[in-house]
């Protein structure tokens, strides 16, 4: 009889659901809008989604080994408690995994969403059967997940793997976290786009297509993003090329430091900027090789994630397999 | 019946030996000169020392659970092979642990010496019962050891925990490893002392006691060291204070990045510079708190090691307990 774990990934807009089989194959993914009104409605929404998933696939409780809930926000992993959730008001000191599990009558476990995404790529994505892995999520911020010897590294106070706050420029740009010079301040998609804007706004005569693109997007309530920058770079825009390369350089710098500390097999990049595919991996790898020590050849590979937005859900289910699968 | 593991720490000048009881209490430490002539004599010396240790304490093979050998140089941990040893010529592709173990008739395991020192502090020193820990050795270079969930982190290619080569100043000072801006290039004892010398040699009129100290030591074939710098700092020398603070600043910067990635309970400092004791810990902790994010209070403690030069030997024995102790 096939057995499954259920993965639930709680986001500010949607909750994503899916199954993960014992051989780490995801299936049945769907999403529901995140209910408003705090912990009660959100938990009810998770239970509803999980029941729908089981009904759709004709699963009984006996078929489901466990439920993994991935969620943002500071949490106490050992106790399974969400401390706070900046994006979803009304959820504080909430043992969310346990509450969902109790309502379903299935064992449940809570995991940080970035760690879950890392573990998802590890068990079923780019990192499958590839050994120690570090994930970098390149979006508004930079998040991270670390898997060593098959286990998610949480840190002693559950604030490990905050790779976006590795300091790459001491005394550099202020970061939202209160530090200066974090990699997030230099290489997150939104901060890189902001850097591009600051460049052409400070130099009114600098010829760049980015200025027009930005002005055009502003009229429809949007902003220049790194997709625009990569497109302009490909069309030959010099500022766009410089900004894109700056991002690749800082990411590579972080990857070198990550390699010196953790020496993973893989560094997996996911998130908005990775839509550029090889346009991102190539310059990051080039800078990485250049910045890398000469004591050994570069051994850590920098690759794209494979699961897209499903990584967190898959990883949450993977964490449930690790917790309740009896392996 | 009391059971022990034997720790052996191979250095360029001495081999250190000692026992570690099942409750992680070290005893019987002594050292022998490292024999010249390559792998054969070195292995014979290790076997001789281990036999002496057993004889001194009236132990038979039945009393000894395992032998741990800590050694420098690139190695293949899984295979137990030393690839090369820059400080001790004639040891290449040598399965040193296995060879020592076979001659003694006791199971043996090989470990990198910096990792062993980290594990030693973890099982029997500053990190005992304190959870996840990172070690920094502050000497000619900066070495490191990482313990997560009770296990030494080696990395996928056995080149992890090379914390001295975390990049803290991109494009900065060249490091012997081929990278630029490594923490080792900024905050190792010898590089800090060299920085002090370069400061007063470039500015002939700069008033500092360090100049005279350096000239005096040169006559007896020595150089200014960080012990001199700390002494001059305490006597009110401004350049000495600046150099000392520079070291503390860069160490703190590395500690912040280590905290963001690994969030350990403890960062343990050992090696020559830690002879300064609280004179080192205080400014490193002050910079750490200042550079640290505001999302959580600083939780990782920065402390001095407790085992001194015995850490590597104790940790090697600890690794043998982990490998053969059946826990």
The span from the CA of A148 to the CA of A134, in Å, is 9
Residue A4 in tokens: 């499954």
Distance CA B51, CA B237 (A): 51
pLDDT above 90: residue B283? yes
Q: Could you give the CA distance from residue A215 to residue A220 in angstroms, rounded to a whole number?
A: 9
Per-residue CA distances from A160 to A86, B64, B200 (Å): 19, 38, 41
What does DSSP assign to residue B166? Answer: -
pLDDT score at B139: 87
pLDDT score for A239 = 97
pLDDT at B306: 97
Do the beta carbons of residue A131 and residue A150 sit within 8 Å?
Answer: no
pLDDT at A73: 77
Q: Return the number of other C-beta atoms located less than 10 Å from residue B246's C-beta.
A: 16
pLDDT value at B86 more than 90? no
- How many other C-beta atoms are found inside a 10 Å radius of the C-beta of residue A2? 10
Structure tokens belonging to residue A224: 């220049």
What pLDDT is stored for residue A145 in this prediction? Answer: 97
* CA gap B308, B29 in Å, rounded: 12
**How far, in Å, CA of A206 to CA of A112, rounded?**
43
What mean pLDDT, rounded, does chain A reach?
95
The pLDDT assigned to A88 comes to: 80
Say whether A263 and B160 touch across the interface (CB within 8 A).
yes
Contacts with A296 from chain B: Cβ below 8 Å: 74, 157, 159
Task: Give the Cα separation of A99 and A91 in Å (integer).
Answer: 13
Facing residue for A156 by CB, picked from B163, B167, B265: B265
Are the beta carbons of A262 and B167 separated by less than 8 Å? no
Phi, psi values for residue B74, rounded to 5°: -60, 135
pLDDT > 90? residue A135: yes
pLDDT at site A91: 87
DSSP A240-275: HHHHHHHHHHHHHHHHHHHHHHH--SEEEEESGGGG
Q: Where are the alpha helices (DSSP H) in B138-236?
A: 183-187, 189-202, 209-219, 226-234
Q: pLDDT tens, A250-301?
A: 999 999 999 999 999 999 999 989 999 999 999 999 999 999 999 999 999 9
Considering only alpha carbons, which residue of chain A is nearest residue B153?
A: A262
Q: How confident is the model at residue B161 (pLDDT cuts 50, 70, 90)?
A: very high
| Cα separation, B162 vs B73, whole angstroms | 12
Give per-residue pLDDT as tens, A209-252: 999 999 999 999 999 999 999 999 999 999 999 999 999 999 99
Answer yes or no: do B296 and A159 touch at CB < 8 A.
yes
Among A312, A323, A321, A324, smallest CA distance to A116 is for: A312
Question: What is the mean predicted confidence (pLDDT) over A310-323?
Answer: 97
Chain A nearest-CA distance from B181, in A, is 10
Q: How many angstroms separate the CA of residue B175 from the nearest CA in chain A?
A: 9
Q: Check residue B285 and give its pLDDT.
A: 98
d(CA A114, CA B200): 49
* Phi, psi of B126, rounded to the nearest 5 degrees: -60, -25
Instruction: Give the chain B residue whose CA is nearest to the CA of A180.
Output: B291
Phi and psi at A62, nearest 5°, equal -65, -20
Are A33 and A58 contacting, i.e. CB atoms less than 8 angstroms apart? no
Q: Closest Cα partner for B136 from B295, B246, B247? A: B247
Q: Which of A163, A167, A259 sits opposite B256 (nearest CB)?
A: A167
Share of chain B above pLDDT 90, in %: 89
Query: For chain A, where are the alpha helices, taking DSSP H only?
Result: 39-56, 96-104, 113-124, 183-187, 189-202, 209-219, 226-234, 238-262, 278-291, 311-324
The pLDDT value recorded for residue A256 is 98
The CA distance from B192 to B246, in Å, is 8
User: Whole-angstrom distance between the N-terminal and C-terminal Cα of chain A?
Assistant: 17
* Helical spans, DSSP H, in chain B: 39-56, 96-104, 113-124, 183-187, 189-202, 209-219, 226-234, 238-262, 278-291, 311-324
If one compares A1 and B201, the residue with the highest pLDDT of the two is: B201
| Confidence (pLDDT) at B327 | 53
Grouping H, G, I as helix, E, B as strand and the rest as coil, residue B144 is: strand
Sheet holding B142-148, edge to edge: B151-152, B142-148, B133-138, B266-270, B301-304
Residue A327 has pLDDT above 80, yes or no: no
Q: How far, in Å, are B74, B167, B299 from residue A290 at the CA level?
A: 22, 13, 35
Mean pLDDT, residues B119-143: 95
CB < 8 Å from B in window 13-32 of A: none
- Mutation to test the B interface, candidates A83, A129, A134, A156, most B Cβ within 10 Å: A156
pLDDT at A27 over 90: yes
Percentage of chain A lying above the pLDDT 70 cut: 100
Instruction: Please report the residues numbered 275 through 304 in chain A whose beta carbons come closer than 8 angstroms to any beta carbon of chain B.
Output: 291-296, 299-300
Whether B184 contacts B141, CB under 8 Å: yes
Separation CA B265–CA B127 (nearest Å): 9
pLDDT digits (tens, 9 = 90+) for B23-42: 999 999 999 999 998 899 99
Cross-strand partners of B18: B7
Residue B102 has pLDDT above 60, yes or no: yes
Q: What is the pLDDT of residue A45?
A: 97
Instruction: Using a CB–CB cutoff of 8 Å, tell me whether A215 touches chain B.
Output: no
Residue A242 has phi, psi (to 5 degrees) of: -65, -45
Residues 158-197 on A with a CB inside 8 Å of B are 158-163, 165-170, 175, 177-180
Mean pLDDT of B266-290: 97
Query: How many A-B residue pairs are in contact by the CB < 8 A criterion?
Result: 145
* Predicted TM-score of the model (pTM): 0.95
Which among A158, A165, A294 has CB closest to B177? A294
Q: What is the CA radius of gyration of chain A?
A: 21
- pLDDT, position A86: 75
CA pair distance A88, B237, nearest whole angstrom:
55
Residue B79 has pLDDT above 90, yes or no: no
Residues B133 and A245: their CA atoms lie apart, in Å, by 36
DSSP one-letter string for A133-154: EEEEEESSSEEEEEEETTEE--
Q: How far is CA B303 from CA A140, B147, B267, in A?
A: 36, 15, 6
- Across all residues in chain B, what is the average pLDDT? 95
* Residue A256 touches partner B, C-beta closer than 8 Å: yes
CB atoms within 10 A of CB A114: 27
pLDDT in tens, B223-238: 999 999 999 999 999 9
Using an 8 Å CB-CB cutoff, list chain B residues near A257: 166-167, 257
Identify the CA nearest to A315 among candidates A85, A186, A128, A162. Answer: A128
């Amino acid at each position: 009889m096939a057995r499954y774990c259920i993965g639930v990934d709680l986001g500010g807009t949607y909750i994503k659901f899916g199954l993960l089989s014992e051989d780490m194959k995801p299936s049945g993914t769907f999403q529901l809008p995140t209910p408003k009104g705090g912990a009660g409605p959100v938990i009810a929404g998770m239970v509803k989604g999980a029941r729908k998933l089981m009904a759709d696939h004709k699963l009984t409780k006996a078929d489901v080994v466990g439920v993994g809930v991935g969620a943002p926000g500071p949490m106490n992993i050992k106790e399974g408690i969400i401390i706070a959730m900046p994006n979803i008001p009304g959820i504080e000191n909430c043992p969310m995994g346990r509450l969902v599990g109790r309502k379903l009558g299935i064992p449940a476990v809570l995991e940080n969403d970035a760690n879950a995404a890392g573990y998802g790529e590890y068990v079923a994505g780019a990192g499958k059967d590839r050994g120690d892995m570090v994930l970098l999520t390149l979006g508004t911020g930079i998040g991270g997940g670390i898997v060593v010897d098959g286990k998610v590294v949480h840190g002693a106070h559950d604030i490990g793997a905050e790779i976006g706050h590795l300091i790459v420029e001491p005394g550099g740009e202020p970061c939202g976290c209160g530090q200066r010079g974090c990699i997030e301040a230099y290489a997150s998609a939104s901060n890189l786009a902001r850097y591009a804007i600051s460049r052409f706004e400070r130099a009114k005569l600098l010829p760049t297509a980015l200025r027009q693109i930005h002005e055009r997007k502003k009229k429809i309530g949007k902003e220049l993003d790194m997709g625009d920058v990569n497109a302009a770079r490909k069309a030959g825009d010099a500022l766009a090329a410089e900004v894109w390369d700056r991002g690749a350089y800082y990411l590579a710098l972080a990857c070198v430091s990550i390699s010196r500390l953790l020496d993973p097999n893989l560094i997996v990049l996911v998130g908005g900027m990775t839509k550029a595919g090889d346009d991102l991996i190539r310059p990051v790898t080039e800078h990485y090789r250049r910045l890398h020590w000469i004591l050994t050849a570069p051994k850590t590979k920098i690759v794209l994630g494979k699961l897209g937005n499903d990584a967190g859900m898959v990883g949450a289910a993977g964490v449930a397999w690790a917790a309740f699968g009896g392996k």
